[in-house]
Amino acid sequence: MNSGLLKLAVVGSRSSYGRLAGIAGGVAVGVCLLLLLWGGANGLSARDDRGAWLRETGRPSVAAPLTTDDPSASGPATPVPLTADTALMEANPVEVFRDQLINRRDFASLGSTTVKIPGIGSPPAPGQYYASPALQRLIESTPRDELGDRFGQFAGTIDDAALPGPDSLIVVTGATEAELRQSGRASLVSDFTTNPYGGSAAAYSTVLSIGAIAVFFPVLLLISIVTGLGAAQRRERFATLRLIGASPQVVSRIAAVETAVPSLVGAVMGVVLAVALRPAAAQIPVNGIRMFAADLTIGWAAAAAVIAVVVAASALVAAHRTARAGIGPLGVTRAMHERTPTMWRSVPLLAGLASMITAVLMIRVMEVRLPWLEFPLLILGFLLIIVGIVVIGPWLTRLVSGVGLRQARSAAGVIAASRIQRAPVATFRSVSGLVIAVFVVSVFAGGSSIIESTEAPPARPGLLQPTSLYATVGTGHTPGQVAEAARQAKELPGIRSATVGYGPAVLSGPDSGPEIYLRAADAPGLGFEDIPAAQIVAVDTSFLWTAQPLALNPAPAANLGRMVPIVMVLGTDGTPEAMDRARTALNRSGITAIPATSPLDLRLQSSTRLIQGLAVLAYLGMFVAIAIAGLSLAVATASAVLDRKRVLGLMRLMGMPVSVLRRIITREAAVPLLTVLLLSVGLGFLVAWLMVTFIDDTYRVTWPAPGYFMALGLSLLLALGAVTATFSLVRGNTAMTATRFE
Amino acid sequence: MSTNDTTAPILSARGLHHSFRHTAALRGIDLDVHAGEVLAVMGPSGSGKSTLLHCLAGVLVPDGGSVTYRPAGRSPLETSALGEPKRARLRLTDFGFVFQFGQLLPELTAVDNVSLPLLLAGTRRAEALRRSSDLLARLGMDGMGAKLPGELSGGQAQRVAVARAMVASPAVLFADEPTGSLDSLASENVLTLMLELVRETGTTVVMITHDARTAAYADREVIVRDGGIGAGYRVSA
């Protein structure tokens, strides 16, 4: 290509430089976000990979041989002996400090053990512990009776290679074989799994894929919009080139190069920006913990691939747009009429809905398990719905603007509605980013709402109080030992009651009864109000975990002296310090079969882990999607003004006030935005419901958190801001001195 | 129509100066335009004709000198002393504009393009559409009101532009090379229709042209050269 022609096309005027800077800047922002999000997705995977060993459950540490006489009955359980290549492990599900879950693993091993624990090596000796750096900092900054006393003596920190992130709270403690065998829940491990998700792998990948699609889509829209900046001025320059002899092919090539050059500059800037922002991006907590900055690295090859794809795609699109414009020596030779959108545009959206509904019906109604089909159907459906909203938007917008045109009474109304009628695709493109953002935010808000519904019920008589903790008592502990532990606990600051419950046998044993017996005098300490007139009362054992209030029953015949202590409940003043002090006291008392548990711990349980991941993506998605969409709307609106500066300037010359031009710009953004906004919100919640039903049909989508309405309001404010920001552009670019009419 | 020099001019320019950065476009022009006359402004490219028109029409505020507009039945206005909102209102209510090309909004039908000045002036849409359709019919565009500008020929588009300029019954019509982009036949056609209409309504016309044949339609012509009125300008009878 002639270098002189190329120079003429790429440079030449201040507005050219402005347009090139706009394209480069927009692409830089888009590529930077793309790389950070890609890195974030990689980081989540790397994090889960490093934490995979925590999912190891081992194999049973007891064997129950079949009796020879009756094959259907099992004999008494016998311990599987500990060997050099095995270790006893107990995974503590509810080691809690304040409102944070601590991943705790207790190990017992032979001195000659060959088992290696990730990040540590050989298991710690009894009474010692290894902690993640974040937990160790927490232990050192907290009174020992609230946390440190639970673990023993510090032996060292766990290496980063075995930590999901720098904020991970993990502790590995050493214990004796007898201590671990006491609860009957310890297992034998030889090595550790590398599968980070277990049975939820497919569901988790599905959620990640959907989150990635939802967040990447607005980024792609932004890049697409900025590369079309100043199309009208470019067409004028290309017409000049045609006049001096350039062929249509040469003009198309120039258009491609002209867009590729700033795109390349922007993409490289985006990579540099992403590298520079990586440490800051790593500070964003996901699931409560930050990432290591290195987790966000995607590698130079991937960065180069992003640059190549962005540059090639923008160049191809520019060449295609220019060829389609039919630019001749005297300007655009054929009018660029958009094809009138028809109701066929609803097909992708309907297909997407059908795909998602089919996946849900298969798994929930027909109960067919075909993961290779159901998960792709769900992802494909989501993708189709996003594309479908963009595709159906112009059709709906045109329908509404048609009504608007018939009803229009003002010049602004007629001009805006007419433009939407003639160019619904171009008009809708301006707001498509924001419409998609609102859809994404609605999906995530719907998904997040189920977390609220799994929270612990409020305090009520007949329920274990949220300010209480309980621990079941292990075998072989005398009533005296348990009473002494209760007495010591009750002396701690913030502990209001210490109640011991009794039964015929320990709760985990085969002879355990259905009820917990206690002294009626202790019942108020558990939150009961209607207490029967008896010395001894009983309540169903489900009292410890149920959400349905239970009543006390009189048990006059019961004799606590003939029973064994089966549970201890500590009531606190509800302060975090008292709760942790009570938890530490119970866990180090040596009498408990399971760690101390509070009703509030339920919300920290791993059953909601998947959905919490979704919620985190939701917040990231909300931020990214809304920010990009606002930027896209501002760029698209500015571009629409620049492309029509001649005709809008002429309208001003004829006496049209600037205020009317402002109203035109506002209506052109408001009509498509409001038309599709309701659809986006409705579809967002429908898709959220389909997704959570697909993952687990016990989840329920409820009203979104106030944050959703704030996000929605922010979207509308952003739209208003983006449109308002172009007002000065309208005034400047349509000024009589900026336009020549002769 | 001959100029009536005894009546006060509808537009008067006195000592007009205007520069674009370091380039002087007008160098002390004095000019009177009388009510009902058709004035042709001629001159070579870059002589300052368009700048003069823009100053007379209140599009530009001259760096020096004054422009006075004397509407019938109202007090005279020194337009060069008005702020942009008042000048914009004046252009909307009292002036009409026709340019060489690119003046119709491409998304609006012909009749909607014509009705815009009426809508901007607050006329009800139904009434604006009726008056616009009548005027289009008067200019030989009957039945073409629903067409988009892209579907019209150059001559037809210029007639729509003339209709839009005249629909609000302006006192003065400013035309900048109104037939510059048309062939001679279309040019004659548009000029004939435009002048018939302005003479019927008594509208004053200030028309810039390079073309002597176009200028021949005017009552009077002035020649602008190097930012001043040429010494030998002709006043036709």
Residue from the list B91, B102, B107 with its beta carbon closest to the beta carbon of A654: B91
Tokens 């019927």 correspond to B200
Q: Do A742 and B89 touch (CB under 8 A)?
A: no
Q: Phi and psi (nearest 5°) for A463?
A: -120, 150
* Straight-line distance from the first to the last Cα atom of chain B, in angstroms, rounded to the nearest whole number: 8
Helices (H), A564-705: 576-588, 609-643, 645-653, 658-695
Residue of chain B whose Cα is closest to the Cα of A408? B125
Neighbours of A448 (CB within 10 A): 25
Confirm if A670 and A434 have CB atoms less than 8 A apart.
no
Tokens of A600: 């509030």
Tokens at A254, concatenated: 């120039």
Question: Is the predicted pLDDT of residue B236 greater than 50, yes or no?
Answer: no
| ipTM above 0.85 for this complex | no
Nearest to A650 among B60, B103, B150 (CB): B103
A653 contacts B91? CB cut-off 8 A: yes
B79, B84, B107, best to mutate vs chain A, most A CBs in 10 Å: B107
Task: Check if B88 contacts A (Cβ < 8 Å).
Answer: yes
Position A713 scores a pLDDT of: 81
- First vs last Cα of chain A: how many Å apart? 34
Which residues, other chains included, contact A697 with Cβ-Cβ below 8 Å and sequence gap of 6+? A364
Number of neighbours of residue A638 by Cβ within 10 angstroms: 22
Nearest to A742 among B50, B105, B109 (CB): B50
Q: Tokens 């037939």 correspond to what residue?
A: B179
Look at residue B128 in the predicted model and tell me its pLDDT.
93
Of A409, A652, A742, Cβ closest to residue B99: A742
* Amino acid found at A454: T
Structure-token pair, residue A300:
């130079």
Whether A741 and chain B come into contact, CB under 8 Å, resolves to yes
A713 burial via Cβ count (<10 Å: 0-12, 13-18, 19+) = exposed
In chain B, % of residues over pLDDT 90? 37
Which of B91, B125, B176 minimises the CB distance to A742? B176
CB A96 within 8 Å of CB A583? yes
Per-residue pLDDT tens digits for B56-100: 998 888 999 999 999 988 889 998 889 888 888 898 889 998 887
Here the tokens at position A298 are 């995607």
CB-based contact A438:A606 (threshold 8 Å): no
DSSP of A489-540: HHTSTTEEEEEEEEESS-TTSTT--SEEEEEGGGGGGGT--S--SSSEEEEE
Q: What is the DSSP string of A141-153?
A: TS-TTTTGGGT-E
Q: How far is B148 from chain A (nearest CA, A)?
A: 10
d(CA B205, CA B175): 7
**What's the confidence (pLDDT) of residue A329?**
64
Average pLDDT (B118-144) is 91
Measured between alpha carbons, how far is A275 from A299 in angstroms, rounded to an integer? 10
The per-residue pLDDT for range A318-339, each reduced to its tens digit, is 888 788 777 766 665 544 566 7
Find tokens 């995607």 and name the residue: A298
Whole-angstrom Cα distance, residue A634 to residue A512?
Answer: 69
User: Of A583, A467, A571, A568, nearest to A143 (Cα)?
Assistant: A583
Is B112 in Cβ contact with A656 (below 8 Å)?
no
Q: Which residue of B has its CA nearest to A335?
A: B150
Q: How many CB atoms lie within 10 A of CB A491?
A: 9
pLDDT band at B163 (very low <50, low <70, confident <90, very high): very high
B115: closest CA of chain A, how far (Å): 9
| Lookup result for tokens 């009820």 | A515
Q: What is the pLDDT of residue B237?
A: 40
pLDDT at position B232: 45
CA distances from A626 to A613, A623, A719, B36 (A): 20, 6, 10, 59
Q: Sort strands B204-208 and B38-42 into parallel, antiparallel or unpaired.
A: parallel
Sole residue written with tokens 């008042």: B86
Report whether A625 contacts A389 (CB < 8 A). Answer: no
Chain B residue with Cα closest to A420: B107
Closest CA to A295 of A202, A206, A167: A167
Contact between A505 and A513 under an 8 Å Cβ cutoff? The reply is yes
- Decide if A491 contacts A516 (C-beta within 8 A): no
Residue of B50, B60, B120 with shortest CB distance to A411: B120
Residues 6 or more apart in contact with residue A429 via CB below 8 angstroms? A225, A636
**Do residues A628 and A125 make contact, with C-beta atoms less than 8 angstroms apart?**
no
Residues of chain A with pLDDT under 70: 1-16, 64-77, 93-94, 196-212, 214-216, 218-219, 228-233, 240, 243-244, 286-288, 328-338, 448-459, 508-511, 602-626, 696-701, 735-742
| Residues A197, A612: Cα–Cα separation, whole Å | 14
Cβ neighbors of A140 (< 8 A, separation 6 or more) are: A148
Chain A partners of B88 at a C-beta cutoff of 8 Å? Answer: 652, 655-657
Name residues whose C-beta falls within 8 Å of residue B69's C-beta, 6 or more positions apart in sequence: B10, B11, B58, B76, B77, B79, B90, B94, B172
Which among A415, A651, A736 has the least Cβ separation from residue B59?
A736
Q: What is the pLDDT of residue A537?
A: 92
Dihedrals φ, ψ of A647, to 5°? -75, -35
CB within 8 Å of A509: residues ≥ 6 apart: A475
Yes or no: say if B147 and B111 are a contact pair by the CB < 8 Å rule.
no
- Contact state of B88 with A337 under an 8 Å Cβ cutoff: no
The answer, for A409 touching chain B at a CB cutoff of 8 Å, is: yes
Distances (CA, A) of A265 to A29, A36, A271, A298, A307: 12, 18, 10, 20, 9
Residue A665 tokens read as: 């710009």
**Which chain B positions have a beta carbon within 8 Å of A409's beta carbon?**
119, 124-125
- The whole-number pLDDT of residue A14 equals 58
Q: Quick one: which H or E segment has residue A413?
A: helix A411-422
Concatenated DSSP letters of A440-460: HHHHHHHHHHHHHHTSPPPP-
Residue ranges covered by each domain of chain A: 1-51+202-336, 81-195, 344-454+606-646+662-726, 468-605
Interface of B with A in 98-157 (CB under 8 A): 99-100, 102-109, 112, 115-117, 119-120, 124-125, 148, 150
* Subunit contact A655:B176, Cβ cutoff 8 A: no
